[in-house]
Amino acid sequence: MIAFIVRRTLQMLLALFGVSIVVFALIQMVDGDPIRIALGTRFDPELYQRLLERSGLDRPLLEQYFTWLGSAVTGDLGVSFRTGQPVTEMVLERLPATIQLALVALLIALIVAIPAGIISAVRSGRPVDYGVTALSQVGVSMPDFWAGVMYILVFSLTLSWLPSAGYVGLFDDPVAWVKHILLPALTVGLISGSIITRFVRSSVVEAANQDYVRTAKAKGLGEWGIIRDHVLPNAWISIVTVVGLQLGFLLGGVVVVETVFAWPGLGRLALTAVESRDFTVLQGAVLYIAAMFLVVNLVVDIVYARLDPRVRIG
């Protein structure tokens, strides 16, 4: 087990290294640089040159990359070209909001998806199933910016129940926290939930068609007993996979929803970084997002082993 985690951690570092090269290469391919954008229309070639030299952006690309890498391995991700703030600080400042939104959204998604998916599978081909399938189709197809705006329209503007934007810390005021997080979490949570519902349904249906289920039926076990003891344990693996993917995706920050609800998360940070070609910040944010994905993957693998004794790791 320990050997497995160590090996996976090393693989992760390698993957992060690869990610950093890709991000660096991509950002070089687009026009513009942070200095030019900061100067905006007031462009002055001499000034531009001076600022470029100061920022180190005039040096050869390889040198730039290795300078960055050199300090990155010591934990220093550099400073933002735009704000002069350390990148690590900027990412960490936005982490709590992102993680909270991701977890609450996932919670909402699971509360919706697990029962809905199971019921729909068990009653496959009946009206309930069609209802769930149709609703999840709506959920998957609904663009998040539109859903967010609709919730605001209903719950903030018309009913005045919930605030339309902003963020309050959990420990500063738990009630206000719930009010502020509910709409953005609902927006992403229901979309994720719809995706997960479909996976739950299909994996339960698949597991229910196995021979051992027929045997269990033949033994005269009750329907829900079979679901609980024979179907679900075999369906979990694929459900966990999609839940893991969704979590990884949510932890990367949800740009559109963060913008609509003025939620101070990582997605907005990354978006601003792209717009201003603030590539140190972009590197930092993307590395973090990649790390999150990898960690979630690792966790998923470990959970597999726990869920299914046939899977051995180590």
Partner 1 sequence: MKRWTYGLLILVMALVLAACGTGESVDIGAESTVAGDDTATTSGGADTTTAGDTTEAGTDTTGATETTEGDTPATTAPGGGGGELIAAQGSEPDRFDPHLTSAYASFQVLENVYDTLVQPGADLSMQPALAEEWEVSEDQLTWTFTLREGVTFHNGRDLIANDVVYSYERIMDEETAAANAYRFASVESVTAPDDRTVAVTLNRPTPNLLVNIGGFKGMAIIPREIVEDGSIDNQPVGTGPFRFVSRSPDQGIVLEANPDYWGDGPNLDGIRFVQMPDANAKLTALRTGEVHWIDTVPPQELETLSSEEGITVEQVAGSDYHYFALNQNREPFGNVDVRRAIAMAIDRDDITEAAQFGAATANQTAIPASNETWYHEYAPFEPSNLEEAESLLDAAGVSDLTMEMMVTSEFPETVTQAQVIASQLSQIGITVEISDVDFATWLARQGDADFDAFMLSWVGNIDPDDFYYAQHHSEGGFNFQGYSNPEVDQLLDDARVETDEAARKTLYDRAAEMIVDEASYIFLYNPNNTGAWSSDVSGYNVRGDNAVRFVETSLGG
User: Where in 134-173 is the site for partner 1 (CB under 8 A)?
Assistant: 149, 152, 156-157, 160, 163-173
Of these, 124, 140, 264, 308, which contacts partner 1 (CB under 8 A)?
A: 264
Nearer to partner 1, 98 or 194 (CB): 98
User: Which one of residues 96, 133, 238, 297 is an interface residue with partner 1 (CB under 8 A)?
Assistant: 96
Number of residues in the chain: 314
Rounded distance between C-alpha atoms, residue 251 and residue 77, angstroms: 20
Q: How many amino acids of this chain bind partner 1 (CB under 8 A)?
A: 84
Query: Rounded to the nearest whole angstrom, what is the least distance from the CB of residue 4 to partner 1 in the complex?
Result: 10
Those residues whose C-beta lies under 8 Å from the C-beta of residue 131, and which sit 6 or more positions away, are none
Instruction: HSE, CB side, 13 Å, CA atoms: give it for residue 297.
Output: 12
| 297 counts as binding partner 1 under rule CB under 8 A | no
Q: Among residue numbers 20 through 49, which ones bind partner 1 (CB under 8 A)?
A: 30-33, 36-45, 47
- Residues of this chain, 195-234, that bind partner 1 according to CB under 8 A: none
Is 100 near partner 1 (CB under 8 A)? yes
260 contributes a contact to partner 1 by CB under 8 A? yes
Establish if 94 lies at the interface with partner 1 (CB under 8 A): yes
15 is a site residue for partner 1 (CB under 8 A): no
The CA angle 259-256-92, to the nearest 5 degrees, is 65
Q: Quick one: tokens of 131?
A: 């209802």
**Cα 248 to Cα 96: distance, rounded to the nearest angstrom:** 15
Query: Positive or negative, the Cα torsion across 126, 130, 135, 137?
Result: positive
Q: Is 211 helix (H, G, I), strand (E, B) or coil?
A: helix
By rule CB under 8 A, what string of x and - marks binding of each residue 47-66 to partner 1? x--xx--x------------
